Amino acid sequence: MPEGEISQRTATAAPSETATPREDYPGFGDLDLSAANRAPAAAPSGMDDRVTSLRMLEAALAAAQGERDGLLEDVAAAQGERDAALADRDAAIQARDAALADRDGEIQARDAALAEIQDLRGHLDDANEDRDFFERKYDKYKAEVFRTQS
């Protein structure tokens, strides 16, 4: 509402809607402000200043309410952005947790493969020792056979 313009409600309100005592403005009492707004020339002396002040206050109130509504919209938009950011963060955390679980599974598989390699190396070492033992035994047997044949 432009500054200095009174609301449609105030301009068309019945006297009972606008006639309220105003303790913070001495002298207003139970005034019929709608009548004063329609006929400012008939207002008593000093009343024009009060009506102008009232209109200015009404315009300031409307501007403050408009600003408040704008701020409430900004807060709602910010809350929506925050909620979206939190949802994105939660999705990122879940993706990270899934990646960590995959990595843990890969680490366990690698550890199992390393354990199997160690086990196979142990069997290979045993087989090499057995081979060395039998090669020595064969060499002894072969040497004895050559000695007995000669």
**Assigned token pair, 66:** 């408009």
Angstrom distances, CA of residue 39 to CA of 43, 49, 71: 7, 14, 37
pLDDT, tens digit (0-9, with 9 covering 90-100), for 48-68:
888 889 999 999 999 999 999
pLDDT, tens digit (0-9, with 9 covering 90-100), for 77-129:
999 999 999 999 999 999 999 999 999 999 999 999 999 999 999 999 999 99
Terminal Cα-to-Cα distance of the chain (whole angstroms): 131
The 8 Å CB, 24+ separation contacts for 45-54 are 50/25
pLDDT, tens digit (0-9, with 9 covering 90-100), for 69-84:
999 999 999 999 999 9
Looking at residue 13, the DSSP 8-state letter turns out to be -
Looking at residue 119, the DSSP 8-state letter turns out to be H
Output the pTM of the full model: 0.43
